Amino acid sequence: MSEPRSYLFVPGQRPDRFAKAAGSGADAVILDLEDAVGPDAKDEARAHVVDWFRQGGQGIVRINGRGTPWHADDLAALADITTADIMLPKAEPEALAHLTGHLPGRSVIALVETVAGLATLRNSVTISGVTRLAFGNLDFGADARIPESGAELDPARFEIVVASRLGGLARPIDGVTTDFADKQAIEKDVLRARAMGFGAKLCIHPAQVEAVNAGFSPTPGEVEWAKRVVAALEEAAGSVVQVDGKMVDRPLIERARQILEGARHTTS
């Protein structure tokens, strides 16, 4: 799949959960060295993560942010683990440039968690190695002094979507839904994020994966509509066609092609 839909966090100090997370159905697994790991367990967690990759495991590593006591050790430990992609928390241009300079050739997910990170986002997306943006909605809300993390932060989400497009990046990753027991809550969050232009979501529990994957996949109705659009376009001589009694021009034709491309990745 070219664009993962679900990213499942797993604590770096819990190697017993690594394989379970990889088999959860999540499109990607994030081995966390940051928030999920206490200060006294950082070295242990880092060793477990490095061992996972050396044994052939795959995934993304959320390292500790620049300016923390553990950042340099994280970079050093991952220097020769070339199969590990990186997620940088509290991503801002200078920190991203520092990271990509130390770990060249890596695919980097920039986790937008600060007001400064949002304000400088259009610089961040130009840094070589940055392939996708993710929204750290909880940390961002705290930094922005906004007590809620849902629709109240949609203006920030909109800027992340626009910056991703300007930078030629994959569709961004929405932040977490904290209530993993409420299926309707995550389905609602996914629906809103997808409508805004997001293509994936961070998951904090395996129970969220199925709803996230389904929500970011084209529905059967969308696929059928897209097929009718493409079929009508093939029959027509021009670039404007009529489908289901409605005019369909270039933007909607492109949307139909995107739906079919997404459906192919979903079923592959």
Closest CA to 102 of 73, 68, 69, 60: 73
Q: Are 186 and 160 in contact (CB under 8 A)?
A: no
The reply, when asked if residue 113 is annotated as ligand binding, is yes
148 is in an annotated binding site: no
CB atoms near residue 32 (< 10 Å): 24
Query: How many Å apart are CA 39 and CA 70, to the nearest integer?
Result: 9
Whether 74 contacts 102, CB under 8 Å:
no
Rounded to whole angstroms, the Cα distance separating 205 from 9 reads 7
Nearest to residue 239, comparing CAs of 230, 228, 249?
Answer: 249
Instruction: State how far the Cα of 156 lies from the Cα of 164, in Å rounded to an integer.
Output: 12
CA-CA distance, 154 to 151, in Å (whole number)? 5
* Binding-site residues for Mg(2+): 113, 139
Binding residues for substrate: 62, 113
Question: Binding site residues, as ranges?
Answer: 62, 113, 139
